[in-house]
Chains A and B, each alone.
Chain A
Amino acid sequence: LSPQAHDLQELRRSASLATKVFVQRDYNDGTLCQFQTKFPLELDSRLERQLFEETVKTLNGFYTEAEKIGGSSYLEGCLACATAYFIFLCMETHYEKVLKKISKYIQEQNEQVYAPRGLLLTDPVERGMRVIEISIYEDRCGSTSSGSTSSGGGGGR
């Protein structure tokens, strides 16, 4: 087991869901999918502002890339129209490709940044692209260290 996954196991054994924070959409650029970079106060004690802002800004960058209107998207649109959109039976849209990248990124962020701090990011696509849901887990045993054996429930490593 990688040390990070092991940390998560330890955490889940001894943690329970305390609360959830929802980062809302930012509509200042129109209907494009962007999220607010305002730091939620509930995370103040758990997470550095910088890390949070970086995550949200990267996600926003991905969504901008997905919804980019330019030569390649027009080409895709016209080609699809010419084939009466049957081409999407065998081809993925550009948007779907970027969504896959976003999933991977969120997975990474969870493993490297959020889970060690007792937090969990949910992919916005699972919430209808309305919010980024951040679940805050409280450590029942009181220790927030990573890698040390906490006493909750039996079990060896």
Chain B
Amino acid sequence: MSVMVVRKKAMRKWEKLPGRNTFCCDGRIMMARQKGIFYLTLFLILGTCALFFAFECRYLAVQLSPAIPVFAVVLFLFAMAMLLRTSFSDPGVIPRALPDEAAFIEMEIEATNGTVPQGQRPPPRIKNFQINNQIVKLKYCYTCKIFRPPRASHCSICDNCVERFDHHCPWVGNCVGKRNYRYFYLFILSLSLLTIYIFTFNIVYVALKSMKIGFLNTLKETPGTVLEVLICFFTLWSVVGLTGFHTFLVALNQTTNEDIKGAWTGKNRVQNPYSHGNIVKNCCEVLCGPLPPSVLDRRGILQQEDSSAQGENSTRGPSTQEPSTPEKSSTQEPSAAQVLGAQVVGSIREGSSSPTRQSAVPMLPLSPTGMPEEAQPSAVELPAQSWEDGPTEH
């Protein structure tokens, strides 16, 4: 770490996190690196709704009912809130193992498998667990150096292991996992409703106005209508279909990842051990279940050995009962609280001192859902995580 003489701002942990994520607003916002398609999504939704409110709503509010634009506004705001929530939140990233932990697991693996002579292919690193009378295999992630929990998967685009990994969605510019699946589902649901709503009322508008001034004149007066109808028509087929698909997944408590891989197709009498067997219960659990907080501490302050007294020792949750005192680098009369803090400092420093290298930015496939790939056995080095300043406030 370079010695900084003048520190204007304490460094936060997000600046040193591995993985290919972008952080904005000083770590409050977390997205994938590729954001182009997300901006397109925003543009399409905002643009279409702006046209709808500007043209059709004025006519329909007067002719039919003022409730029409009101309901549209509510739907629009809800859809936008869900989109931003999906895009900006932590999908459930599992932080990488610190060196001590990784070494411990390696030792355990070697103890189980025995040391492999040079040149021979090592046996696959798998742990078996029995869940609900089903044998579930846990795979070892070479990048994150952990045994992945069940249903977790490594996203090769974001280079993170994500819990209950569903898929990487370029349209929202983020992975969809345990923590943001319900926002994603509510987003596509509300977007479907919004699209159907706008489409329907555009047709109604054209029909009503055509009766008075003729079809071609209507289109000439509000050319935006054609654009809206086109966008809504194509969106309908994709988004409504996607909503239907995800409703099916929610009812069975499956993820897109499991569905694509055919994990629970039923052959060899393999069944989904996570399903409650009851559609209502599955829906309730997935959509209204408890929401785990992010374990990826983004806004914690990274303690520097030679920092001027910052005073803040913000690790996750109140880990100290005594009032926080400035961190001292040497072991001068540390109290219990400082030892607890120092423990975390030591680990952070170890974690952040790994060598970094520039990694090539991967090309995204332009499909509604990105195909998740398994992690390749890679070298020890962690890829560099670069970030850019966020353009907007949340």
Contact = CB atoms under 8 A, between A and B. Distances in A.
Contact of A107 (B149, B164, B319): B319
Nearest to A111: B336
A146 interface: no
Given A31-B150, A69-B285, A126 B319 contact: yes
Interface stretch (B39-47, B91-99, B359-367, B370-378): B91-99
Interface bin, chain A = 35 or more
Nearest to A135: B343
A28 B316 CA distance: 27
A84 B81 CA distance: 7
Contacts, number: 144
Given A22-B101, A111-B336, A69 B289 contact: yes
A73 B344 CA distance: 32
Given A13-B333, A77-B288, A28 B129 contact: yes
B100 A94 contact: no
A57 interface: no
A128 interface: yes
A133 B85 CA distance: 32
B154 to A, nearest CB: 14
A95 B183 contact: no
B201 interface: no
B321 interface: yes
B290 interface: yes
B279 interface: no
B64 interface: no
A68 B81 CA distance: 27
Interface stretch (B114-122, B130-138, B256-264): B130-138
B249 interface: no
Contacts of B63: none
A83 to B, nearest CB: 10
Contacts of A73: 288-290
A74 B293 contact: no
B336 A115 contact: yes
B340 A120 contact: yes
B78 interface: yes
A110 B288 CA distance: 35
A93 B293 contact: yes
Interface of A: 4-5, 8-9, 12-13, 20-22, 24-25, 27-31, 66-69, 73-74, 76-78, 80-81, 84-86, 93-96, 99-100, 102-104, 107, 110-111, 115, 120, 122-123, 125-131, 133, 135, 155
14 contacts: A9-B333, A9-B334, A21-B104, A30-B132, A31-B149, A73-B289, A73-B290, A81-B186, A85-B85, A93-B293, A102-B317, A122-B344, A125-B316, A130-B146
Interface of B: 77-78, 81-82, 85, 94-95, 97-98, 100-101, 104-105, 129-132, 136, 138, 146-147, 149-151, 163-164, 182-183, 186, 273-274, 284-285, 287-293, 295-297, 315-321, 331, 333-336, 339-340, 343-344, 347
